[in-house]
Structure 1
Amino acid sequence: MSALTRWSLVVATWLIVAIVLILPPLLVLSEALRDGLPTALQSLADPDAISAIRLTVEMTVLSVVINTVFGVLAAWLISKYRFPFRGVLVALIEIPISVSPVVAGLVWLLLFGSQGWWGAALDHYNIHIAFAPAGILLATLFVTFPYVTRTILPLMEQQGRDAEDAATLLGASFWQILWRVTLPDARWALLSGILLTTARAMGEFGAVSVVSGHIPGMTETMPLHIETLYNGYQSVAAFSMAALLAIMAMTTVGFRAFFENRARRAALAGDAGS
């Protein structure tokens, strides 16, 4: 490849990145600060805005914790054992990546809505899932389920089972093996998967929009609140919330890139040492 071709590719790549990835957040931040920082901060102090931020954080934390636990266990099972329909299980785990989140929201409404299969029975016991935080959590769990599993699965497959079999012979329990043998080597990949799940959970819109009911102050997450504000012609408030959400997401992605870089350097150092 000639120097001219190489530099042309570099310039074209950076141009596309600048237009598609860098320019939109800058425009959002510019619109948020159009009337000054105090106005933007005042819009974020609105009770509905605070409720949306709190709900987003709560749903993100819960979904990350649940999907981390089940994601690690699923990756461990798939990577360490061969069993019937193993490929089917892997395909099912990856479904949320390919299926529209709106479909997931409609499924939860079909199951738990007031006219759904189990809605009447749940209403009888005063249990509310659709148009309630529980439904938002289910929707977020669905769209973020694959990320931890798919991030650590390749590394766990490379590990093999020799060290774990040796620990079993020495009398270690399952949890001791998982915590002290399997996860230490996969800690950077696991952290990357957790941060990716966090970023995805904070920004989820489609499934949550369908199942939440869009109730301000109750079931509106930050993305939904942005839509409500923008549709109500409160553009500064909408862009202020969007800027906050973008900063949260970009910070999460930045941490992920940092830890992935550390993991790459550690792997290179280990290869050099061996």
Structure 2
Amino acid sequence: MSVATGAILAGSRRRRLIRSGLLTLTILYVAVLLLAPLLGIIWIAFRQGFAAMGATFSDPQVQHAAFLTLTITAVTVTVTAIFGVVVAWLLARDNFRGRSLLDALVDLPFAVSPITVGVMAFLLFSPGGLFEPLFTSLGIQVLFAVPAMVLVTIFISIPFVVRGVVPVLRELGQDEEEAARTLGASSLQSFFRVTLPNIKWGLLYGVALSTARALGEIGAVLIVSGQIQGQNETLTLFILRAIEERQEPQAYLVALSLAAVSILILTLIEFFKHRQAKETAR
């Protein structure tokens, strides 16, 4: 065997060892930081028996927290889907002054801590805040109420829709839209009949991510909600309070439910990502 061949084989062995080492580290990471806590939650949740599960999920506070969480998530997803598509359209189709600034602002929720978002909302809507006189005159309570919880959740969730749709719009181009307008379609008709069907998988991908983010939000919501039991308490806030009050079985059962929903959403995200890749490859 020549020296060159030996060097090639040695290099190949080193690469295999490096790949094996990285794969082992990844498996250990998933096992220790993800699977082990999840299995622990499952064990503690089911250890109490089905009677405890029934008592937990029939608790009016848990039911109200679930209803409030779903309500906030539904409003958030609706607003982020509509507003996110509009912003994505502006970024992908229009070339206007301030476009780069808008593009940077879209990513602001990724860079800012949710706690900071909550504090900013608190300062804006608290007594003496910039928007407090306006909403007080209208008789609308924003802070320590559902409106503030919805607003901060929308702010944190909207980048997912924008970043899911912008690449699809840019990949799509404008040829089909221009052809539709040439045939007499209005801009609105062109959007709903041509553009929307082509971006649907990217939009659904962003919506799924936005849903997951809204369901699991706690930092910003904790600041602006007041965490009033049976009134302004989402499922994540209920879990936090249950742990603080040493009611671990209830906390783990609710956490397990959220984890199951998150796994379902993750499955949908992967499905939408796969369909989007197939649409792009055509």
* Structure 2: unaligned runs, 5 residues or longer: 1-11
Q: Distance in 2 between the 1:212 and 1:150 partners?
A: 28
Counting only pairs closer than 5 Å after superposition, residues 35-46 of structure 1 correspond to structure 2 as 35-46=48-59
CA shift, 1:9, in A, is: 2.6
The residue that corresponds to 2:127 in the other structure is 114
Q: 2:270 is matched with which residue: 243, 252, 257? A: 257
1:144 lines up with 2:124 in the alignment: no
CA shift, 1:38, in A, is: 2.3
Preserved contact between residue 213 and residue 219 of structure 1 (Cα < 8 Å): yes
The residue that corresponds to 1:25 in the other structure is 38
CA shift, 1:221, in A, is: 0.5
Q: Distance in 2 between the 1:93 and 1:263 partners?
A: 22
Number of residues of Structure 1 aligned to a counterpart in Structure 2: 269
Q: Distance in 2 between the 1:64 and 1:80 partners?
A: 23
CA shift, 1:6, in A, is: 2.8
SS in 1 for 2:47: coil
CA RMSD of aligned residues (A): 1.6
Q: Distance in 2 between the 1:78 and 1:235 partners?
A: 46
CA shift, 1:183, in A, is: 2.0
The residue that corresponds to 2:69 in the other structure is 56
Q: 1:265 to 1:166 in 2, by over 3 A?
A: closer
Larger mean Cα displacement after TM superposition, 212-221 or 184-193: 184-193
Q: Distance in 1 between the 2:31 and 2:196 partners?
A: 37
Larger mean Cα displacement after TM superposition, 76-85 or 49-58: 76-85
CA shift, 1:229, in A, is: 0.8
* Structure 1: unaligned runs, 5 residues or longer: none
CA shift, 1:94, in A, is: 0.9
CA shift, 1:48, in A, is: 0.7
Q: Which amino acid aligns with 1:249?
A: S
CA shift, 1:236, in A, is: 0.4
Counting only pairs closer than 5 Å after superposition, residues 1-274 of structure 1 correspond to structure 2 as 1-2=12-13, 3-268=16-281, 270=282
Q: Distance in 2 between the 1:174 and 1:28 partners?
A: 51
Larger mean Cα displacement after TM superposition, 33-42 or 139-148: 33-42
Please list the CA deviations of residues 212-270 of structure 1 after superposition, one character each: whole Å capped at 9, or x if unmatched.
000011100011010111111111001111111111112111111122223334545x3
SS in 2 for 1:218: coil
Q: Which amino acid aligns with 2:208?
A: L
Q: Distance in 1 between the 2:100 and 2:152 partners?
A: 24
Q: Distance in 1 between the 2:122 and 2:280 partners?
A: 46
Please list the CA deviations of residues 96-155 of structure 1 after superposition, one character each: whole Å capped at 9, or x if unmatched.
111011111112111212343332453344210001111110010011011100111112
Q: 1:97 to 1:153 in 2, by over 3 A?
A: same
Preserved contact between residue 108 and residue 139 of structure 1 (Cα < 8 Å): yes
Q: Distance in 2 between the 1:125 and 1:76 partners?
A: 33
Preserved contact between residue 32 and residue 239 of structure 1 (Cα < 8 Å): yes
Q: Which amino acid aligns with 1:112?
A: F
Q: 1:34 to 1:115 in 2, by over 3 A?
A: farther
Q: 1:99 to 1:167 in 2, by over 3 A?
A: same
Please list the CA deviations of residues 38-81 of structure 1 after superposition, one character each: whole Å capped at 9, or x if unmatched.
20231121111101000000000110010000101111111011
